[in-house]
């Protein structure tokens, strides 16, 4: 019978062994022990262990996050580093561990749990839904318009002493407008700012337009990578944060100005972002194939999200419009008699959740708990959910839900 407990520092050697078996990347034992003890998102106090027959056989983090959904900060349980020892696999221990984390998350009042899945199918069986995909573009540095490079010459500079506060302020404001960006803890910022290979450029108010002194409007953080000495180099963007479209164009123009050194810029953007349509020959230095002549990058899956308490989750986030709708959450087996029916009334961006207004099957959005998570936290429109068979609703009901509950696509910059 599996049992669960909090971690102790005396566990760290055994935990690092389990971690190495579960995540067999090049990191050594020392690095793994530091990550378990002093993770930038939280320490040992957030690590939950599973024992079987008295032996320590697994671990997982449950971080207490806040993330913005609809312009409102929502309590999120961030699940990470789910690992089970090789000798204990195949016993269902990982499933039991994740379900225990759901109980802990629900007890402390989280609206949802979120994770970056090693296998989507495993977590789908536990009620998780996929969220927005992202586009990972790999574009020629020469493809960025010259006008963007001209913008950069007027406002982009290197990072200066004291800019750490500026970067934090810009990120916090961007997170409020975005979907699913977590609030970064102090330790995580310290880790980012200490990275030796991470470079940062800042976009200030353009010269001649300053409103009482330079005002930072955005920044881009990146690394320049090279597989081996004298090989082609590429700029890999960690994050690009901009207060307005002009600042974003200027920051991309500044990266493109390094075209004599770097052949390519790699960056992830939201699936709905039309950036590549402004570029000229973004794949300029690459040859295509008979099937795909112009490959501009790849599609990257986003995190997964799960709802524990339906009324709490529907009330926790912000909304774009006002109005009312009913939701019927079917039991996973499809038996509506065991499901949940609620009425949602939204005014001034906030929702009140109570009893459904009418019969369950009439005029309601009907879906599973996973479908609900995809629509209300994964930025999937109700209309698309119906088209994909993930929900049932009259087209007018789906359109009304979309008008009230729409979210910008998820494009998170931090994994955990």
In order of their start, the domains of the chain are: 2-110 (3.40.630.30), 135-300 (3.40.630.30), 309-405 (3.30.1050.10)
How far apart CA 365 and CA 224 sit, in angstroms, is 48
pLDDT of residue 136: 96
Asked if the model's pLDDT at residue 335 lies above 50, the reply is no
Tokens 């200030």 map to which residue? 204
pLDDT of residue 213: 47
- Residue 405's CB is within 10 A of a number of other CB atoms, namely 25
**What's the whole-model pTM score?**
0.92
Residue range 203-227: mean pLDDT, rounded: 80
Q: How confident is the model at residue 285 (pLDDT cuts 50, 70, 90)?
A: confident
Q: First vs last Cα of the chain: how many Å apart?
A: 29
How far apart CA 223 and CA 225 sit, in angstroms, is 6
pLDDT of residue 62: 98
How far apart CA 273 and CA 138 sit, in angstroms, is 14
Asked if the model's pLDDT at residue 334 lies above 60, the reply is no
Q: At what angle do helices 163-177 and 186-194 cross, to 10 degrees?
A: 120
- Residue 366's CB is within 10 A of a number of other CB atoms, namely 21
How far apart CA 260 and CA 56 sit, in angstroms, is 54
Asked if the model's pLDDT at residue 350 lies above 80, the reply is yes
Q: How confident is the model at residue 207 (pLDDT cuts 50, 70, 90)?
A: low
**Which positions ≥6 away from 375 have C-beta within 8 Å?**
365, 367, 381, 382, 385, 391, 401, 405
Mean pLDDT score of the chain: 93
How far apart CA 21 and CA 55 sit, in angstroms, is 16
Residue range 355-366: mean pLDDT, rounded: 79
**Which positions ≥6 away from 252 have C-beta within 8 Å?**
144, 148, 220, 240, 265
pLDDT of residue 337: 47
How far apart CA 25 and CA 40 sit, in angstroms, is 19
**pLDDT tens-digit series, residues 298-321:** 999 999 999 989 999 999 999 999
The pair of structure tokens assigned to 365 is 């959005």
Residue range 33-58: mean pLDDT, rounded: 94
Q: Using DSSP, state whether 198 is helix, strand or coil.
A: coil
Tokens 């910008």 map to which residue? 408
């Amino acid at each position: 019978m599996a049992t669960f407990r909090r971690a102790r520092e005396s566990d760290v050697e055994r935990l690092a062994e389990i971690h190495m078996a579960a995540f067999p990347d090049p990191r050594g034992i020392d690095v793994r022990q530091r990550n378990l003890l002093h993770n930038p998102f939280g320490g040992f106090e957030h690590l939950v262990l599973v024992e079987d027959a008295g032996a320590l056989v697994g671990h997982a983090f449950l971080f207490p996050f806040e993330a913005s959904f609809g312009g409102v900060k929502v309590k999120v349980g961030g699940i990470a580093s789910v690992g089970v020892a090789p000798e204990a696999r195949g016993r269902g221990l990982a499933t039991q561990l994740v379900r225990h984390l759901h109980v802990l998350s629900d007890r402390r009042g989280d609206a949802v749990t979120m994770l970056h899945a090693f296998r989507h199918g495993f977590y789908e069986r536990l009620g998780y839904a996929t969220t927005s995909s992202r586009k990972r573009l790999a574009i020629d540095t020469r493809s960025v318009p010259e006008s963007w490079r001209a913008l950069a010459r007027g406002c982009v500079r290197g990072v200066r002493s004291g800019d750490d506060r500026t970067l934090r302020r810009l990120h916090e404001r961007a997170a409020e407008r975005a979907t699913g960006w977590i609030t970064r803890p102090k330790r995580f910022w310290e880790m980012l700012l200490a990275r030796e290979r991470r470079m940062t450029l800042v976009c200030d108010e353009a010269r001649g337009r300053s409103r009482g002194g330079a005002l930072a409007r955005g920044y881009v953080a990146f690394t320049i990578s090279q597989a081996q000495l004298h090989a082609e180099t590429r700029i890999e963007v960690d994050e690009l944060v901009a207060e307005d479209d002009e600042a974003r164009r200027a920051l991309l123009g500044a990266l493109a100005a390094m075209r004599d050194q770097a052949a390519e810029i790699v960056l992830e953007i939201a699936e709905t972002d039309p950036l590549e349509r402004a570029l000229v020959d973004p794949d300029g230095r690459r040859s295509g194939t008979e099937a795909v002549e112009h490959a501009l990058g790849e599609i990257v899956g986003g995190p997964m999200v799960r709802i524990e308490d339906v009324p709490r989750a529907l009330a926790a986030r912000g909304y774009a419009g006002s109005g009312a709708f009913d939701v019927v959450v079917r039991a996973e087996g499809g038996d509506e008699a065991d499901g949940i029916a609620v009425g949602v009334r939204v005014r001034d961006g906030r929702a009140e959740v109570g009893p459904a207004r009418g019969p369950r099957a009439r005029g309601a959005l009907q879906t599973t708990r996973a479908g609900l998570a995809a629509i209300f936290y994964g930025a999937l429109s109700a209309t698309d959910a119906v088209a994909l068979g993930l929900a049932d609703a009259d087209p007018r009901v789906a359109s009304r839900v979309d008008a009230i509950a729409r979210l910008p696509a998820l494009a998170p910059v931090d994994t955990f």
